[in-house]
Structure 1
Amino acid sequence: MPASDPRPALVWLRDDLRLADNPALTGAVEGGRPVVLAYVLDEGRQTRPLGGAARWWLGRALADLSRAVAARGGTLVLRRGDPAAIIPALAEAVDAESIHWNRRYDAPQIAQDAALKEALKAAGRTVKSHNGTLLHEPWTVKNQSGGPFKVYTPFARAAQQQPVRAPLPEPSTLRFAPAPASEALADWHLTPSAPDWAGGLRATWQPGEDGARATLTRFLKEGLAGYAENRDRPDLENVSRLSPYLRFGNISPHQVLAATRHAEAAGTAGAKDAAKFVAELYWREFSYHLLYQFPTLASANFNPRFDGFGWASNAAHERAWQRGRTGYPIVDAGMRQLWQTGWMHNRVRMIVASFLIKDALVDWRRGEDWFWDTLVDACPANNPASWQWVAGSGADAAPYFRIFNPITQGEKFDPDGAYVRRYIPELARLPAEAIHKPWAAKPDVLRRAGVTLGLTYPHPILDHATARERALARYEAIRG
């Protein structure tokens, strides 16, 4: 860079809170320019406001990134408000030659970015957007007709035939320009205090780039072997727990994919296990591609036939589900895990979603909204795509008649009851043969276990067999 042109590059960070494999950051420093890093808390002006658990994660991740930037001699500039005003003002304040960001894929954010790009260019600044979130851009994976895929398996097959770039290292020549004063992260009140309900989240997670690396390393060493066979077992540890790190960009899918392929090549991961885990990465991709093509994924049925579905309105059933008090142990264990840790095992997510939608006949959007508020990995693509998949209203959806039986699901995937005992301690002394259906246990079995149905643990709020028939009848009414 000529000495006569010391103007910096401004990097607008969003869902990419990391220094390594950050194409926007790498692109900003490629010309030898110093950088200014900024994060803007939009608070839902153009996008869906973050839920409580996600706000907690964001606060911790921003604090971690701020420390990492400070250790390298810089400042992460924090601003709260409308990016349409804040980003041009920051660019003006530092006289940025260029502005870089990694692309987002839902309609309001795309519109926001497009308008900002035009305004910044009109002010004489260079604007460059990059791909730091997905393995493949949504417009690059098309079916034979040139349109988007609506079924996962052919999508994944086509996408995996395309090349994927290697992860980028953290820039070795990272220099920081003088930055404007930053707002104080504590003033954003992202961490709950009255009351402080985040104790379980703090005990479970280490948000940030270092936590993401440690989680990936642990999974590759301890969880990937046996993943294909055991990933549906919530009582085991054959899951990655990388979803919140991917959601906030503390790690990239390119880093995860490359590390998995390396483990497979080194012989520390079997081909079957690696393939199944990679398939999960591509479900995330598929969800983002759906969101790009169908911006109302969280609010409208992908399949409009479900617009006429006869949902019930039972606040008591919905509340019992939220509190983990349905009387079905595998459902209640999942909902309590969610409340305590901000996360839930994927198999159990399907079980609890099926129970709410098909047993209780509560609109899937109500469940999606609850997950949005309580999940640390609440993702604008994955969350609604997965809820619609269970509901039967989505792309490549599970058949509506696939209604999970919470008893047999518990017995199959938590055979010894270890998962239920962990999150429902009042049932901990029940034997395995009774723990997934305590109402069917003999009185002396309940007595020895210290369980009094209706007092220490609730009776089932509904009968699954009856609810199943009711759900199927409602579905038949819209089949046409």
Structure 2
Amino acid sequence: MPNSKPAILWFRRDLRLHDNPSLIAAADRGGPLIPCFLFDPDRPEWAELGGAAAWWLHHSLSALSESLRMQGLELLLRSGPTADLLRDICQASGAARIFCNQVPEPQSIAADRSLQRSLAEDGIDLVIAGPPLLFDPPKPLNRSGEPYQVFTPYWRACLGEQEPPAPRPQPPMPPAAAGPAEAGSAEAGSGDGDPLASEDLADWRLTPTAPDWAGGLCAAWTPGEAGAGARLDGFLDAAAASYHRARDLPDRVGTSRLSPHLHWGEISPQTVWHAVRRTVAAGGMPEKAAEKYLAELGWREFSHYLLHHFPSLPRQNLNGRFDAFPWSAPDGDAATRNALQAWCRGRTGYPIVDAGMRELWTTGWMHNRVRMVVASFLVKDLRIHWRTGAGWFLDTLVDADLANNSASWQWVAGCGADAAPFFRIFNPVLQGRKFDPEGGYVREWVPEIAALPDRFLHAPWEAPAEVLRSAGIDLGETYPRPVVDHAEARRHALSAFETIKDAAE
């Protein structure tokens, strides 16, 4: 006999209908359904919501709302304290069971456990599915029973486990729950209005208005489940076959650019994994390219694995000896403040760095190879703490994922798991010449130096005066001189590193 009581489907960072475990569990239960999204800035998963991520959330919720409406369901939008909102919705609708997916971050998991206990006291069952990853973060462990801190053995252990399960289709959608008038309990709300009446998404002001800086984001992205599917299909059709050769070249669309869709749960990693496997089987992707791509999914898994085992990862150096590293204070002397501002604005005088930072500001995304270059420049050339860079990325990335962001910045800084050694300091000129040899990337994002010959494009200060004049460049005016001399900055960085090496010894 089908359930007569409604259930609540609480969407969080799982904004899709296909391969959604909590939706499948709610549909299997039977009975009417109330899909909802609750915006609570005090919840850990929303506490550090940056501007670009907020823009994405607005449009992803709009897309999800439309998808549900086509299935005969309305997405209930409510803002405020999560526990109060869920109690009010349950009381007003008669629901006693809530389904949701886990947000795989330690503070969110702890908040969920507390919420479960609190709701249970009122007879409300919170059912949490998860984690939304390919592999269970507590596992695998090394032979000593400790978490891996090196990617290759971790990933080898993961690949030795059972293949990730195939994605599950969207289930037959349950009927919509009766409105508050039929339920007869609208008066049971918190006193702030009808708990079953949706708020207006526009009133949450997640998108910028004064000024509206999101034009580049709108041009670059289509948030939502349909956009995620189109992005995956486009990658498999056009770029997958050459992924292993083109993945490090920022002037080409050689990567899938699925990171924001994965972060917001608009597509599951299982869907991506098995789509790649099918493409290989059909002859559309070489095995070598597939291994490289799936290993990138593996790095995403590894980041969440590290965050699970080391919850302080976003705040503290995994390698404790870096606690004594002599970072330059970003709010200290004027030269450091000016250098940080130049980095944020893409005005460092190093074209590959400036191109990356401008791409980030305009589109909310940056090519992975360039992310490493700009991060190295901040923490090693400028010696500004990696947390400063991580904070800027959280505010400007549409794929601002706490685990990936923290682990990646610590990797570049040399203080994280499987980290690049500190003395591996990216030379921005050599990186530009190697990975943007024809200058297509730099010319797109730093157009004021586009007329320079390839030979000087990545080091404009090396160009003779007549070449600069011919290209319409006045160094220090139309394009800045380098904020630091890389060779000198490298020496200072290595000298600073020696101080903590000596302390460790």
Normalised to the residue count of structure 1, the TM-score between the two structures is 0.97
Which of these residues, 246, 249, 254, is aligned with residue 238 of structure 1? Answer: 254
- State yes or no: 1:102 paired with 2:101: yes
Which of these residues, 278, 284, 290, is aligned with residue 262 of structure 1? Answer: 278
The CA deviation at 1:305 is 0.7
The CA deviation at 1:89 is 2.1
* Residue identity opposite 1:21 in structure 2: D
Q: Equivalents in 1 of 2:292, 2:167: separation in Å?
A: 21
Show the counterpart of 1:169: 169
- State yes or no: 1:354 paired with 2:353: no
Matching of residues 127-138 of structure 1 within 5 Å: 127-131=126-130, 133-138=132-137
Show the counterpart of 1:203: 219
Show the counterpart of 2:28: 30
**Could you report, residue by residue, the CA deviation over 1:21-75 in whole angstroms, capped at 9, with x for unpaired residues?**
1000001110222211111112144443200000000000000101111111111
Show the counterpart of 2:12: 14
Q: Equivalents in 2 of 1:448, 1:67: separation in Å?
A: 54
Q: Equivalents in 1 of 2:83, 2:140: separation in Å?
A: 31
The CA deviation at 1:148 is 1.7
Q: Does the CA-based 8 Å contact 1:51-1:374 persist in structure 2?
A: yes
Matching of residues 67-466 of structure 1 within 5 Å: 67-131=66-130, 133-163=132-162, 164-178=164-178, 180-313=196-329, 314-466=336-488
* Residue identity opposite 1:403 in structure 2: I
The CA deviation at 1:132 is 5.4
* Residue identity opposite 1:337 in structure 2: E
**Could you report, residue by residue, the CA deviation over 1:397-417 in whole angstroms, capped at 9, with x for unpaired residues?**
111010000000000000011
Q: Does the CA-based 8 Å contact 2:48-2:394 persist in structure 1?
A: no
Show the counterpart of 2:185: none
Q: Equivalents in 2 of 1:64, 1:452: separation in Å?
A: 47
* Residue identity opposite 2:399 in structure 1: D
**Could you report, residue by residue, the CA deviation over 1:348-385 in whole angstroms, capped at 9, with x for unpaired residues?**
00000000000000000000000000000000100111
Q: Does the CA-based 8 Å contact 2:103-2:131 persist in structure 1?
A: no
Name the stretch that deviates more: 132-141 or 376-385.
Answer: 132-141
The CA deviation at 1:9 is 1.7
Q: Does the CA-based 8 Å contact 1:84-1:112 persist in structure 2?
A: no
SS of the residue corresponding to residue 34 of structure 2 reads strand
**Could you report, residue by residue, the CA deviation over 1:69-99 in whole angstroms, capped at 9, with x for unpaired residues?**
1111111111112212222222222222421
Q: Does the CA-based 8 Å contact 1:138-1:289 persist in structure 2?
A: yes
**Could you report, residue by residue, the CA deviation over 1:110-148 in whole angstroms, capped at 9, with x for unpaired residues?**
121101111222322333211252111212322222232
The CA deviation at 1:170 is 0.7
How large is the RMSD of aligned CA atoms in angstroms?
1.2
SS of the residue corresponding to residue 36 of structure 1 reads strand
**Could you report, residue by residue, the CA deviation over 1:311-330 in whole angstroms, capped at 9, with x for unpaired residues?**
01311110000010000000
Number of equivalenced pairs: 478
Q: Equivalents in 2 of 1:461, 1:44: separation in Å?
A: 39
Normalised to the residue count of structure 2, the TM-score between the two structures is 0.93
Q: Equivalents in 1 of 2:223, 2:100: separation in Å?
A: 22
Show the counterpart of 1:468: 490
Q: Equivalents in 2 of 1:248, 1:63: separation in Å?
A: 13
SS of the residue corresponding to residue 299 of structure 1 reads coil
Q: Does the CA-based 8 Å contact 2:155-2:298 persist in structure 1?
A: yes
* Residue identity opposite 1:395 in structure 2: A
Name the stretch that deviates more: 169-178 or 133-142.
Answer: 169-178
* Residue identity opposite 1:165 in structure 2: P
* Residue identity opposite 1:14 in structure 2: R
* Residue identity opposite 1:18 in structure 2: R
SS of the residue corresponding to residue 37 of structure 1 reads strand
Q: Does the CA-based 8 Å contact 1:22-1:132 persist in structure 2?
A: no
Name the stretch that deviates more: 114-123 or 341-350.
Answer: 114-123
The CA deviation at 1:11 is 1.1
Counting aligned pairs with the same residue, the percent is: 51
Q: Does the CA-based 8 Å contact 1:371-1:378 persist in structure 2?
A: yes
* Residue identity opposite 1:229 in structure 2: R
Q: Equivalents in 1 of 2:427, 2:139: separation in Å?
A: 39
Q: Does the CA-based 8 Å contact 2:43-2:108 persist in structure 1?
A: no
Q: Equivalents in 2 of 1:196, 1:237: separation in Å?
A: 27
Q: Does the CA-based 8 Å contact 2:27-2:172 persist in structure 1?
A: no
Q: Equivalents in 2 of 1:46, 1:248: separation in Å?
A: 15
The CA deviation at 1:228 is 1.2
* Residue identity opposite 2:100 in structure 1: W
Q: Equivalents in 1 of 2:78, 2:148: separation in Å?
A: 38
Q: Does the CA-based 8 Å contact 2:71-2:173 persist in structure 1?
A: no
Name the stretch that deviates more: 35-44 or 322-331.
Answer: 35-44
Q: Equivalents in 1 of 2:15, 2:424: separation in Å?
A: 38
SS of the residue corresponding to residue 225 of structure 1 reads helix
Structure 2, unmatched stretches of 5+, are: 180-195, 330-335
Q: Does the CA-based 8 Å contact 1:132-1:252 persist in structure 2?
A: no
